Structure 1
Amino acid sequence: MTNLQRSAFELLSEPVRRWIWQQKWASLRDVQEKGIPAILAGGDVVISAKTAAGKTEAALLPLITRLANRDQVQDGFSVLYVSPLKALINDQFRRLQGLCEASGVLLNKWHGDVSADAKARARKRPSGIVLITPESLEALLVRRGSEAKFLFSALDAIVIDELHAFIGSERGVQLTSILNRIEIAADRDRIDRIGLSATLGDMALAAEALRPGDGDRVTRVHGLDEGNGVKLQIRGYLLKGKDNGTAVEVDEDETDEAEPDKQHDEFGIPAALAADLFRFLRGDSNLLFAGSRQKVEVYADKLRRMCEDAHLPNEFFPHHGSLSKSEREDVELRLREDPRPTTAVATTTLELGIDIGDVESVGQIGPGYSVASIRQRLGRSGRRAGKAAILRIFVIEPTPDKGGHPLDRLNLDLIQSIAMIECLREGWCEPPAPWGLHLSTLIHQILALIVQTGGLRPAAAWKLLCERGPFKTVDRSTFADLLRCMASKENRLIEQSPEGSLMIGEMGERITESHEFYPVFATEREYRIIHETRVLGTYPISSPVAPGETIIFSGRRWKILEIDDVTRVITVKPTRGGKPPYFAGDGGGIHDHVVGTMRKILGSTAAYPYIDAVAVSLLADARLAFKELELETRSVIPYGNGSLIFPWIGTKKLQTLMLAFLARNFEASSFGHSIEVQEVNVSGVETFLRTLADADPPNGEVIAARLAKPNLAKFDHHLSADLMTMVTLKERLDVASLPAVARSLTEPLPKVGKPSPMG
């Protein structure tokens, strides 16, 4: 092993070095060369590198070495390895068993499927490394609070795998709070934290997320493993009309008699796309990310029937969160160990590092909603030596009808797909979301802390959770308001003893005694959509909607009259206007940078060698429409009896601008990357925008009042109206951006630059 850089390899303990020799590694990977000395030096470390670059070993090799170098062995676990998924823990357990056995380190896995006897043995004689989920860690603290010091006082480090999956989410805030509670219970000032991630757009924000308030002291390691290269292509398809057997609109009276093929075609699988998927994927092992669970089932069923029609064994299997654990594991096992060709048609469930072995290629239906996601998916392919990673994005665009919506002419799914690849090419990735208030998660942590400790005073709870913990944006006054809200007659989550200690209240006992308490995330809530007395269906509230807004549902355009959060009912009526635009996908938050890149692509003449002939034609049509609609020189254009606004901004700012119009009693709705304002001409829209541009940011409470209270987080329904407004303004809207956004829409547009195509 002469080509190993001795500076990293020789720092490792003798058993670890021997294990590396036994694996016949030719050399350490770049991320390991950099990560080993950083972790051996002590302190917090963030490690970022492409998927399958060896990040797990970059963390565990030096940590096991640190354990070997200890002067004395203490009772207690030595390393906590926190992972977001039980399946990932099972994979890592298989992967690390040999290393731990060779090093004399006990390896434990701990999640809901591990037997109570195994957990009891580990608690009785805690030692070595524990692979655990945040929820199991929470349950351990809450149920065994008195044992926390015994279990964790010897901790040498805490590893957080798939760090990007936690940052900015309720689950990530919960985990950071748990780690803080462990440090306090173990009577330690700080325990080293090591974050591992394949997709981090801003290492500084990631470091701050790993150690809130002290991110500057976190060491940052970025692996530069070049891999085996990338092959990618964007392929375009036209979603044709009824005469071509696709996009069929089925009336309610005809639903029962509609042919199965037409029902599937209604979901928009052009024949050319189905044929290409079958041609590209059959005969190898692949991943196809289809989007929603419904689309996963539709595509998997279509490809399965194509296998049957060709008298071939089925190679296509769905994989999503609503399937049973055994169904998902069967697909994972077949990909990992079965030589038969297998394509998993998946949602995001296979985006993280679950071990599925080597796949030939990755496919994706539509553009997706983040560059980070594409980077993560791309890393699932190209793991074999000399084999490039292969990514194909399949984009479906509607055939524009005479008098159709202008958005249909711009082919924005294709433009967004190209923008995503151009961002990927330039090395850009979405930064972690800024820290919010996360009051729902704070409610959860207050309850968990009370159960763990048996009760504590409000000042001690604030100091532990907010001053030292992750809820640093919550001041004493807001914390006091939250406690009063939790203790109210409506909630009865907590109460205060005569001595002043916080205790669990009547409703709090019911919540904390349930096994459903430990996860901090809420399952997706659905609202019934009702027109007059008829239920049209259910609508998932995964993004905010507001009264007065127009939504597209069941192939029709509806105006929201009222939203009842208690009964979860959205009351609607039909609304007029142009033909609703077609959008693939189910919505998602898109970053400003991606949308800005889309405008540059539409306004340029750059060619992109990775798009096929159909996509080239669709791009030319979109650019022609961009010119004919005069979007090169203006942002507001007439449409129907109103106006269309193209701000070219991300989802959060677009939603905030739309609500600003609603707050001034305009009839406004956001579609794709635009806002439609009815009954108001271009001059009227521009007058309002100039007023908005010349003033200070409007009253946020007035803007937020137009937004339905969707109760997105698990305990949002326990928040008062004032506290919910604070959360909305901090986390879900961007009121401060309104003057600058309005100003950009009223001033002459900057000349569109020419993005350089990917070679």
Structure 2
Amino acid sequence: MTSLHPTLAYHVTNTLGWPELRTLQAEALSPIKNGDDALLVAPTAGGKTEAVVFPLLSSMEEQRWSGLSVLYVCPLKALLNNLLPRLQMYATWLGRRVELWHGDVSGSRRRSILRDPPDVLLTTPESLEAMLIGTRVDHRRLMRDLRTVVVDEVHAFAKDDRGWHLLCVLERLTRLAERPLQRIGLSATVGNPGDLLSWLQGSGMGTRPAQVIAPEAVIGSDPPDIELDYVGSTANAARVIAALHQGEKRLVFCDSRRMVEELGEMLRGHGVNTFLSHASLSADERRRAEEAFAQARDCVIVSTSTLELGIDVGDLDRVIQINAPWSVASFLQRLGRTGRRSGTRRNCLVLALSRDDLLTAAGLLHLWGTGYVEPVQPPQEPRHIVAQQLLALTLQEGRIGDSLWPDWWNGLSPFEHRSAQPLLDHLIAEGFLERDGGGLLIGPAAEQRFGRRHFMDLTAVFTAPPEFTVLHGSIEIGRTDPGLLTSSVQGPRLLLLAGRTWEVDWIDWKRRRCFVDPVEGTGGEARWASSAFGGTSFSLARAMRDVALGADPSVRLTRRAVDVLAKMRAEIAGTVHPEGTVIVREDGDLYWWTWAGYRGNATLKATLGPLADPTHRVDDLRVRLRNDLTRSAWRDGLRTLEIRRPEVDDRALNGLKFNTALPRDLAVETLATRLADFSAAVFTLTGPTHLLSR
């Protein structure tokens, strides 16, 4: 610990009782104190927070940093809330301050921060954007001493448009601070850490020293205890969970809010002390559940991916996964919530609710057993983020030079002139921006489309579906899909929310609020609009194919799982071939079993053109071909094919926020490119195809 500031080293040893730093923490000291960019990779509870905070606090003291010098950015407000007390304790050892700034922080607290900035500020990218475009924040004064930005759970940002938005904001902060900013990412295990670090560096890639710090042994080396079971229904899953591991603390992951609600209600019906967590519960409701769960012992908390990240819910005994997450990386995150105590092992029980779910879960566990972890791939062609940033910068500065605006992003790739200039021209032509001599101002179209609530709609790059707030008296319980309030019902209208049934009392349609009263018993309904985009990946689909061909995942399988898998393999034997793909006629329809994943099959369907059935929805595992297709027509058609991007439904554009600020053809091109998987399509097309009959 000799590299730490003496006061900090004293408290680490005597207050925390640590005889030494973990490997990750020791290896991170030198590069972080030297000002290098870095990516720290370790499973959950691997000590990443201390690995970055301790050397930064040491540098802060030794180099006499003043003012707001460190931004700590997280994807979730709940994660920031969870981190605050720990980071405040570390900072106070050196007489330094840590504060919190996000949408739930009061106005008076924010004004206090602006009057006297802390040394470290915990925040989200959306809150940073709001600071930059807000008229009440002197962002130049606030950011002038900034030196380092820490991005927690950086892999969660990089996989969607929030990552591009974050990079853009960091480039603008670099210009305001008038110095290169050290960028440090914290991540769970990813398949391409070097690429992820290069992406995080933004315009500094290749010009600043950078290092991936990923020790192999951060936690115990004992292999995890993983079991796969087939239960057949949510009701059976509830019975299994209620019967197993009584007296222990269990975290159950589900793939939808609706399943969380239904399973939670069933577990309570079995007398299990159950708590719930998902994004449509109010912040207070989630916080009460998470705090109660952290303090209890014999209990279950049922959650969506909201608890996948590093939020502390106490010392877990078990993780139970309903069906399978859609990636090995997500599975590793969830598995890492267990095994933190000395002498315990990481563990996970996977419960499959249907036969298809069993095949998917077995495929994912087989893929995990090979050591594969998905590479993090930022979405391609973020044109809508460029449009948003041009508007946000104009709001930030009041007026921007019509030829100097690229300087704010320091050469970041989406802002290259040939790709960004057409977007700027469109914003001007449509009235989102107005020319004024050699400058640009916010135009009337931007004020009409985004101007409500002081342009706050410009701060977030994701689109939230419309929901009604559900209240019991003055207490907010959560939010629900408006479809539940308009559908036809017999008798009282019952909602299922926070794991219990509520009767709707009255609805305030204008203010989108719904007032409810609790009722005894069950019968409430839960529903939310799905925002899922994509589906099974090519790598997961191929792993499922391996399972169909006889490969077993390297985990324990219950007798039920073994029996059902054997029956499934016999039934789908005609859809797989060890040396290529299969075309087979089933009940009069002709299917090409590609096992290429959703995006691969979307690309194949577009590429096949008239060879494919245009009425068939894209499937994860197969493509329906034209019913009258012959062998010769198939072979002749393949010779003339050119890989094409999938077609995009107009309704899909609504999920691309700021699409109204793009030319329609470029908005469609962005979505089509993101939906395509060219490598999967080429791999499938160039492999052997077997035409069989059944």
Q: Do Structure 1 and Structure 2 share a fold, with TM-score over 0.5?
A: yes
Tell me which of 224, 236, 239 is aligned to 1:275.
239
User: Hey, what's the Cα distance between the residues in 2 that align with 1:707 and 1:631?
Assistant: 37
Residue by residue, what CA displacement relative to the aligned partner does 1:527-563 show, whole Å, maximum 9, x if unpaired?
xxxxxxxxxx979xxxxxxxxxxxxxxxxxxxxxxxx
User: Hey, what's the Cα distance between the residues in 2 that align with 1:432 and 1:149?
Assistant: 33
User: Hey, what's the Cα distance between the residues in 1 that align with 2:65 and 2:573?
Assistant: 72
Matched residue pairs, number?
623
Corresponding residue for 2:573?
Answer: 627
Alignment of 1:735-746 (within 5 A): 735=678, 738-746=681-689
* Structure 1 residue 663, shift from structure 2 partner: 6.3
Q: Return closer, same or farther for 1:152/1:631 CA change in 2, 3 Å cut-off.
A: same
SS at match of 1:166: helix
User: Hey, what's the Cα distance between the residues in 1 that align with 2:172 and 2:136?
Assistant: 10
- Whether the aligned pair in 2 keeps the contact of 1:292 and 1:586 (CA below 8 Å) is no
Corresponding residue for 1:258?
Answer: none
Residue by residue, what CA displacement relative to the aligned partner does 1:578-636 show, whole Å, maximum 9, x if unpaired?
xxxxxx99775333222222222222355755111011112212332343446345421
Q: Return closer, same or farther for 1:163/1:748 CA change in 2, 3 Å cut-off.
A: farther
Letter aligned with residue 297 of structure 1: E
In the alignment, does 2:231 pair up with 1:237?
yes
Corresponding residue for 2:131?
Answer: 140
- Whether the aligned pair in 1 keeps the contact of 2:70 and 2:150 (CA below 8 Å) is yes
Letter aligned with residue 256 of structure 2: S
SS at match of 2:202: coil
Corresponding residue for 1:351?
Answer: 308
Residue by residue, what CA displacement relative to the aligned partner does 1:249-283 show, whole Å, maximum 9, x if unpaired?
xxxxxxxxxxxxxxxxxxx4253x33211112543
Corresponding residue for 2:440?
Answer: 502
- Whether the aligned pair in 2 keeps the contact of 1:436 and 1:473 (CA below 8 Å) is no
* Structure 1 residue 412, shift from structure 2 partner: 4.0
User: Hey, what's the Cα distance between the residues in 2 that align with 1:601 and 1:340?
Assistant: 37
User: Hey, what's the Cα distance between the residues in 1 that align with 2:680 and 2:238?
Assistant: 43
- Whether the aligned pair in 2 keeps the contact of 1:145 and 1:453 (CA below 8 Å) is no
In the alignment, does 2:10 pair up with 1:52?
no
- Whether the aligned pair in 2 keeps the contact of 1:79 and 1:156 (CA below 8 Å) is yes
- Whether the aligned pair in 1 keeps the contact of 2:612 and 2:626 (CA below 8 Å) is no
- Whether the aligned pair in 2 keeps the contact of 1:689 and 1:743 (CA below 8 Å) is no
Residue by residue, what CA displacement relative to the aligned partner does 1:487-538 show, whole Å, maximum 9, x if unpaired?
344xx322111x1311111132341424333222111479xxxxxxxxxx97
User: Hey, what's the Cα distance between the residues in 1 that align with 2:617 and 2:462?
Assistant: 29
Q: Which moved more, 1:439-448 or 1:117-126?
A: 117-126
- Whether the aligned pair in 1 keeps the contact of 2:38 and 2:213 (CA below 8 Å) is yes
Tell me which of 280, 286, 289 is aligned to 1:322.
280
Corresponding residue for 1:415?
Answer: 359
Q: Return closer, same or farther for 1:474/1:29 CA change in 2, 3 Å cut-off.
A: same
Letter aligned with residue 519 of structure 1: A
Residue by residue, what CA displacement relative to the aligned partner does 1:105-148 show, whole Å, maximum 9, x if unpaired?
11111112222222222222224111111111111111159733
Corresponding residue for 1:210?
Answer: 200
In the alignment, does 2:419 pair up with 1:442?
no
User: Hey, what's the Cα distance between the residues in 1 that align with 2:328 and 2:309?
Assistant: 15
SS at match of 1:287: strand
- Whether the aligned pair in 1 keeps the contact of 2:157 and 2:163 (CA below 8 Å) is yes
- Whether the aligned pair in 2 keeps the contact of 1:318 and 1:345 (CA below 8 Å) is yes
Unaligned 5+ runs, structure 2? 468-481, 485-529
Q: Return closer, same or farther for 1:607/1:170 CA change in 2, 3 Å cut-off.
A: closer
Alignment of 1:237-276 (within 5 A): 237-238=231-232, 268-271=233-236, 273-276=237-240
Alignment of 1:423-442 (within 5 A): 423-442=367-386
User: Hey, what's the Cα distance between the residues in 1 that align with 2:651 and 2:590?
Assistant: 24
- Whether the aligned pair in 2 keeps the contact of 1:647 and 1:745 (CA below 8 Å) is no
Letter aligned with residue 442 of structure 2: I
* Structure 1 residue 385, shift from structure 2 partner: 1.4
Letter aligned with residue 383 of structure 1: R
Alignment of 1:567-582 (within 5 A): none
Q: Return closer, same or farther for 1:367/1:149 CA change in 2, 3 Å cut-off.
A: same
Q: Return closer, same or farther for 1:369/1:588 CA change in 2, 3 Å cut-off.
A: farther
User: Hey, what's the Cα distance between the residues in 1 that align with 2:203 and 2:684?
Assistant: 31
In the alignment, does 2:13 pair up with 1:21?
yes
Alignment of 1:180-195 (within 5 A): 180-188=171-179, 190-195=180-185
Q: Which moved more, 1:624-633 or 1:218-227?
A: 624-633
- Whether the aligned pair in 1 keeps the contact of 2:387 and 2:662 (CA below 8 Å) is no
Q: Return closer, same or farther for 1:473/1:587 CA change in 2, 3 Å cut-off.
A: closer
SS at match of 2:400: coil
User: Hey, what's the Cα distance between the residues in 1 that align with 2:51 and 2:404?
Assistant: 38
Letter aligned with residue 423 of structure 2: L
SS at match of 1:105: coil
In the alignment, does 2:158 pair up with 1:167?
yes
CA RMSD of aligned residues (A): 2.8
Letter aligned with residue 296 of structure 1: V
Q: Return closer, same or farther for 1:101/1:630 CA change in 2, 3 Å cut-off.
A: closer
Corresponding residue for 1:649?
Answer: 596
* Structure 1 residue 73, shift from structure 2 partner: 4.4
- Whether the aligned pair in 2 keeps the contact of 1:686 and 1:746 (CA below 8 Å) is no
Q: Return closer, same or farther for 1:306/1:615 CA change in 2, 3 Å cut-off.
A: same
Tell me which of 362, 386, 395 is aligned to 2:343.
386
Residue by residue, what CA displacement relative to the aligned partner does 1:564-583 show, whole Å, maximum 9, x if unpaired?
xxxxxxxxxxxxxxxxxxxx
User: Hey, what's the Cα distance between the residues in 2 that align with 1:624 and 1:371?
Assistant: 27
Corresponding residue for 1:462?
Answer: 406
Corresponding residue for 1:671?
Answer: 619
User: Hey, what's the Cα distance between the residues in 2 that align with 1:379 and 1:269?
Assistant: 24
* Structure 1 residue 706, shift from structure 2 partner: 6.5
- Whether the aligned pair in 2 keeps the contact of 1:363 and 1:393 (CA below 8 Å) is yes
User: Hey, what's the Cα distance between the residues in 2 that align with 1:344 and 1:127?
Assistant: 35
Percent same amino acid at aligned positions?
27
Unaligned 5+ runs, structure 1? 1-8, 239-267, 308-313, 398-410, 527-536, 540-583, 750-759
User: Hey, what's the Cα distance between the residues in 2 that align with 1:479 and 1:82?
Assistant: 27
User: Hey, what's the Cα distance between the residues in 1 that align with 2:627 and 2:349?
Assistant: 42
User: Hey, what's the Cα distance between the residues in 1 that align with 2:19 and 2:174?
Assistant: 39
Q: Return closer, same or farther for 1:585/1:43 CA change in 2, 3 Å cut-off.
A: closer
Corresponding residue for 1:339?
Answer: 296
Corresponding residue for 2:521?
Answer: none
User: Hey, what's the Cα distance between the residues in 2 that align with 1:606 and 1:322?
Assistant: 37
SS at match of 1:211: helix
TM-score normalised by length of structure 2: 0.84
* Structure 1 residue 328, shift from structure 2 partner: 0.5
- Whether the aligned pair in 2 keeps the contact of 1:170 and 1:521 (CA below 8 Å) is yes
Q: Which moved more, 1:173-182 or 1:213-222?
A: 213-222
Corresponding residue for 1:306?
Answer: 270
TM-score normalised by length of structure 1: 0.77
Letter aligned with residue 521 of structure 1: F
SS at match of 1:158: strand
User: Hey, what's the Cα distance between the residues in 1 that align with 2:541 and 2:362?
Assistant: 11
Residue by residue, what CA displacement relative to the aligned partner does 1:428-452 show, whole Å, maximum 9, x if unpaired?
2111114521122222211110011
Q: Return closer, same or farther for 1:630/1:366 CA change in 2, 3 Å cut-off.
A: closer
- Whether the aligned pair in 2 keeps the contact of 1:495 and 1:502 (CA below 8 Å) is yes
In the alignment, does 2:212 pair up with 1:220?
yes
User: Hey, what's the Cα distance between the residues in 2 that align with 1:116 and 1:525?
Assistant: 26
Letter aligned with residue 269 of structure 1: T
Letter aligned with residue 458 of structure 1: D
Letter aligned with residue 310 of structure 2: G
Corresponding residue for 1:6?
Answer: none
User: Hey, what's the Cα distance between the residues in 2 that align with 1:665 and 1:425?
Assistant: 35
In the alignment, does 2:399 pair up with 1:484?
no
* Structure 1 residue 209, shift from structure 2 partner: 2.0
Corresponding residue for 1:718?
Answer: 661
In the alignment, does 2:456 pair up with 1:515?
yes
